[in-house]
Amino acid sequence: MRNGRAFWLFVGPFAIGLLVFVYVPIGWSLLLSFFDARNTVTPSEFVGLRNYADMLTDQPFLSSLGTFSVFAAFIVPLTFVLALALALLVNQISFMQGFFRSVFFLPTACSYVVASLVWKLSIFNGVRFGLANTVLGWFGGEPVAWTVSTSPPWYWLVLVTLRLWLQLGFYLILFIAGLQRIPQHLYEAAWIDGARPGWQTLRYITLPQLRTTSVAVVLLLLIAAYQAFDEFYNVLGTDRGYPPFARPPLIYLYYTALGSGGQDFGHGSAGAVILTLLIAGVTLLQGRVITR
Amino acid sequence: MKALRYLALSMAAVLFLIPFYLVLRNGLATEQEITARQWTFWPSEIHWENFGALFANPAVPMVRSMVNSLVVAVLQTVGQLLLCGLAGYGLARIPYRYANVVLYFVVATLMIPAAVTFVPTFVVVSTLGWVSDLRGLVIPGLFSGFTAFLFRQYFLNFPRELEEAARIDGLGHWGTYWRVVVPNSKGFFAALGVIAFVTSWNQFLWPLVIAQDQDSWTVQVALSTFLTAQSIEVTQLFLAAAISITPLVVVFVALQRLLVRGATETGIKG
């Protein structure tokens, strides 16, 4: 019994908070998702599964999942390959290794808001004086309206390079940690067996040894891309609202539940429940990788 | 081969540093210089007076929003370490009949990223009347199942001999935790603390949802508002951004080792 008191002394405050700020919201949201709740957070009229049916047939909601897929299809492999390549390079040098690691890690200090500011107003500014357009001009190209052009959808270049710059350092650190855990004697044995340093050792030793790290990195990248909000909101949003294209799930949810067109918590909650169920599987897999 | 490696790394490093340079350059240039038809890499002159103009601009709550961000980040860091540390220790070390049930409820939250449930959380927090309130900004972010779980895993590997020695000296769980376990885990606390601070300072979605009055804006919300509305001078916007990242760049340069440990710790458990 004494243990019970000690246990709750340690765990109690956290458990109460978890209950109030995680479990109650999820429960409430589940409840709201079966009700009509416009501009109110108390359920008014029971509508059964109608909110869910609305969401699953709602074109903008479905296309937000499409937007996530396109974004993930670019950002996940790009970040993975470049972070791994830079990690291999950094790991192979001795002089100034710390310096390069710090430089690539530094953007992690930057918020997505600040990065959006630089990307939108300085690098990919649509007028002639933007950095990207200046570089284009050297090669005789015409200025491109990067963030507002939909055909071709140049905004993907803006959004993908932004996130790449900001998150690469974090994954680089994970890969370097993974590389440093590979026992050196594996390489020595391979050299004795005649494997040449380079592609062969990379293919047959480094990559297989990095398997756990690689799986974790892919899952973390996917989960992060799924929650993309900050850079989309700040690069594409204006004070006149958000354009009808390039709305990832959280952007869609934000404008449904909290947008200026009226707060619709019934549909917003149904959307949140669907999105939570979709991501839960992936995070479950991530939990397996982390805890094993 | 070696030279090629350094060449590739140097080129990548320059690319990675350009955005930082642009923030400073645009913050300390004049409006005319930024919007000139010809792009100039180096400004002709550094306009320090932009600082004065930014802080004198009544439309930009620079000081207020920086203070808000600092208060939120410090409270969230301290609160998370305190609550999640205690919970992690209790779950790892105090045998109790229902400990596994509680652990199950903690682990179950790992499946759900907090950002995905921002609508439900907003519903609860607004019912509590915490919209545009420091409590609404800080408290919901304190209860990270992930952090509590990381603490539990860490404490499972804490050397038992140290705790047993404390027990012989007559300390209970509480005394053992504060006098023996915490002092011997400073590195782990510091690593998770630095990560918590950086995450809190840079978070955007939750403050955007909850800080609706200008007085409660964090620095990210303030920057975003002026960016999306383009309602202030570009130089001031960039200068404000430069000021907003200064605390974190200092943290990164000074505490790099801790951050790397924290990143590895939170990214993948080795």
Cβ B97–A32 below 8 Å, yes or no?
Answer: no
A15 versus A126: which is more confidently predicted?
A15
- By Cβ distance, the residue of B17, B20, B119 closest to A272 is B119
Cβ B94–A272 below 8 Å, yes or no?
Answer: no
- By Cβ distance, the residue of A117, A257, A276 closest to B116 is A276
- By Cβ distance, the residue of B102, B174, B234 closest to A121 is B234
Spatial neighbors of A202 by CB under 8 A, at least 6 apart, are A88
> Dihedral of CA A240/A246/A250/A252: which sign?
positive
Clarify whether residues B140 and B226 are in a common domain.
yes
List the single range of A51-60, B38-47, B126-135 with lowest mean pLDDT. B38-47
What is the nearest CA distance from A189 to chain B, expressed in angstroms? Answer: 23
Confidence of residue B32 (pLDDT cuts 50, 70, 90): confident
Per-residue tokens: A230: 């900050």
Rounded Cα–Cα distance for residues B242 and B22 (Å): 10
On the question of pLDDT at B148 being above 60, the answer is yes
Mutate to test the interface with A, among B123, B197, B265 (most CBs of A within 10 A): B123
Q: Tell me, yes or no, whether B5 lies in a domain.
A: yes
Q: Tokens 């105090």 map to which residue?
A: B94
Looking at mean pLDDT, say which of A55-59, A125-129, A146-150, B173-177 comes out highest.
B173-177
Clarify whether residues B7 and B123 are in a common domain.
no
Q: What pLDDT is attached to residue A82?
A: 96
Find the closest chain A residue to B147 by CA distance.
Answer: A14
The structure's pTM equals 0.91
Tell me which residue range forms the domain holding B136.
Answer: 56-264
Cβ A230–B5 below 8 Å, yes or no?
Answer: no
Clarify whether residues B30 and B66 are in a common domain.
no
Clarify whether residues B76 and B126 are in a common domain.
yes
Confidence of residue A291 (pLDDT cuts 50, 70, 90): low
Clarify whether residues B68 and B24 are in a common domain.
no
User: Hey, which residues 176-235 in chain B have their CB within 8 Å of chain A?
Assistant: 177, 198, 201-202, 204-205, 208-209, 220, 223-224, 227-231, 234
For residue range B57-112, list pLDDT tens digits in order: 888 888 999 999 999 999 999 999 999 999 999 999 999 999 999 999 998 888 88
Rounded Cα–Cα distance for residues B53 and A212 (Å): 52
Find the closest chain B residue to A29 by CA distance.
Answer: B120
Q: Tell me, yes or no, whether B269 lies in a domain.
A: no
Q: What is the mean pLDDT of residues A212-228?
A: 90
Rounded Cα–Cα distance for residues B44 and B171 (Å): 67
Q: What pLDDT is attached to residue B270?
A: 38
On the question of pLDDT at B214 being above 70, the answer is yes
Per-residue tokens: A117: 């500011």
Clarify whether residues B129 and B24 are in a common domain.
no
User: Hey, which residues 44-103 in chain B have their CB within 8 Å of chain A?
Assistant: 83-84, 86-87, 89-91, 94-97, 99, 102
Q: Which domains does chain A have, with CATH numbers?
A: 49-291 (1.10.3720.10)
Domain-terminating residue out of B47, B70, B85? B47
Q: What pLDDT is attached to residue B94?
A: 92
On the question of pLDDT at B37 being above 80, the answer is no
Residue B8 has a CB neighbour count (10 Å cut-off) of: 13
Clarify whether residues B31 and B75 are in a common domain.
no
Chain B contact for A187 (CB, 8 A cutoff): no
List the one residue out of A257, A4, A185, A172 whose CA is nearest residue B95. A4
Summary mean pLDDT of chain B: 89
Kindly report whether the peptide bond that precedes residue B58 is cis, defined as omega within 30 degrees of 0.
no
For residue range B221-261, list pLDDT tens digits in order: 999 998 888 777 888 999 999 999 998 988 888 888 888 88
Q: Tell me, yes or no, whether B141 lies in a domain.
A: yes
Confidence of residue A228 (pLDDT cuts 50, 70, 90): very high
Chain A contact for B37 (CB, 8 A cutoff): yes
- Widest Cα–Cα separation across chain B: 77
Cβ A111–B202 below 8 Å, yes or no?
Answer: yes
Chain B contact for A52 (CB, 8 A cutoff): no
Clarify whether residues B63 and B152 are in a common domain.
yes
Q: What pLDDT is attached to residue A179?
A: 92
List the single range of A92-106, A124-138, A220-234, B114-128 with lowest mean pLDDT. A124-138
Q: What is the CATH number of the domain that holds B214?
A: 1.10.3720.10
CB contacts, 8 Å: B122 with chain A: 257-258
The total of structural domains in chain B comes to 2
Chain B contact for A34 (CB, 8 A cutoff): no
Facing residues of A46 across strands? A35
On the question of pLDDT at B137 being above 90, the answer is yes
Mutate to test the interface with A, among B105, B268, B269 (most CBs of A within 10 A): B268
Q: What pLDDT is attached to residue B61?
A: 87
Domain-terminating residue out of B47, B64, B85? B47
